[in-house]
Amino acid sequence: MKLNNLDKKVLCGLCKNPELSPKNLAELLDLNYWSVYKSIMKLRAQGIFKEIVIPNFKLLGLELLVVGYGSLTKRKMDVLQKIRSMRDYLPYSSGIFYSFAESYRGFVLAVSKNYTEISKGLIYAERLIKVREILRRENTQMVILPFEITEIPLFFDYSNLICKDFDIEIEKREKKFKEAKKLGKNDKKVMLEIVKEPTARIAHIARTLNMTPQSVSRIKERLIEERYICNKIIPNLPLMGYDVLVFAHWTSNPEAMDKIHNIKLEEFGYDLSNIIFAAYNPLEGVALAPFKSLKESRDIVSFFENFGEATGVLTKEPNILFLSLQEGIAMRDHEYYPLLSSILK
C-alpha cells in the first residue's frame, strides 16, 4: 500500500513517540493539527497500524520471559491445532502474549511468575495435547530468560524500522519517570481497562468503572509516569510490503559478553534498524527482525557469522527461523489483557 509523504511522516512520528496526543504530535512534526488528526484516522481505518498498551511485567512481579520455538511434523501440527480451542484455558495459556506460526515452524513469547508456573502449564498442556512428547521428539526448544539478569532493549519497537524505510528522521522525546509505588484497587481497575481497550477515551473508561474522568486521567498519568504501562504502535507489516520475519536464538560466552558492552555492532556491517524485539543475558538471547525479502533477511546470518568470529561471543551457530509474514498467522497477537487480569485478580 502506498502512503503519501504526510502519512509517512505521521506514522513514523507515532512509532517514535506513541504516547503523544495528536496535538502534541503535530507540534513535534511542525504540521497542521487537523492534517495530522485526519491522517491518523485514515491510517487507523485502513489498518496500517494498531495501538496497544503493554504492562510492565517486572513491576507486576513476574520473573521470567519464556520463549518457545522450532518446527514440527504435520502429524504433530495437527495435534497442536487443539491449541486454538484452548485460548481460554488460563492454567495453560494465560502467560502467552504473542505467537507466530508459518507452515510447520513458529515461536511463542510468554511470561511467567516463576519456574513453578511454567511446570504447571506444561503439566496441564501434557494432559490435553501431550506437549512433553512433542518437545522431546521434535525440533523444538524452550528459552528461559530471568528478568533480573536479562536486558530487553527493544520490546516491539518499530520506530527505527519504519523511519529507516521512509527515510525520515524524527526526534524521540524522552520522558521522565518516577519511582513506582504500590498499586491501589482503582489503579488496577483503570490499568485493566486501558490494556483491554487502548484507544478508549477517558470518559468511556470513567463510565465503565463508575469513576470521574478526572480520577481516571490522574491514574492513567501515574501508571505511565511510574512505567506500569507503555504505549506501542504496531504497524501492519504485510500491508506495508514486509515479507519475512526472522526469529533468532543464540547462546553466548559470558566472559566474552562482559567485554563487548562498548562495541558498536554497526562496525560489523549490520544495520540494527530491522530488529523490533531483543532480549539477552550473558548466556543467551533472542531477537525478531522483519524484512521485505528473503534476500535482504540473509544479512542477519552474515552479521551473526562476522560478530561471532570477531568477538568470540557466540558459543555455536545461532538457531534462525525464516517465517513468511504473508502466509504466516499470528495465533496470539499482543494479547496482554488475559495475562494482566490473571495477575491483578
State residue 265's pLDDT score. 59
Cβ contacts of 206 within 8 Å, gap of 6 or more: 212, 213, 215, 216
Give the start-end residues of each E strand in 175-276.
229-235, 244-251
Percent of the chain with pLDDT over 90: 62
Q: What is the CA radius of gyration of the chain?
A: 21
pTM across the whole model:
0.88
Residue 202, H or E segment: helix 202-209
- Point out the least confidently predicted range of 7-16, 175-184, 205-214: 175-184
**Residue 33 φ then ψ, to 5°:** -55, -50
Q: Where are the beta strands (DSSP E) in 193-266?
A: 229-235, 244-251
Rounded percentage of the chain residues whose pLDDT exceeds 70: 84
Is residue 317 within 8 Å of residue 176, measured between CB atoms? Answer: no
- pLDDT tens-digit series, residues 74-90: 555 555 555 555 444 44
Q: How far is CA 139 from CA 69, 92, 106, 260, in A?
A: 9, 21, 11, 31
Domains, the chain: 1-46 (1.10.10), 64-148+329-344 (3.30.70.100), 152-169+237-324 (3.30.70.100), 178-226 (1.10.10)
Residue 125 vs residue 172, higher pLDDT:
172
Q: In angstroms, rounded to a whole number, what is the distance separating the alpha carbons of residues 53 and 194?
A: 7
Residue 34 confidence (pLDDT) above 60:
yes
Mean pLDDT is lowest, of 115-124, 139-148, 203-212, for: 115-124
Name residue, grid cell 502474549.
Answer: 97
d(CA 287, CA 279): 7
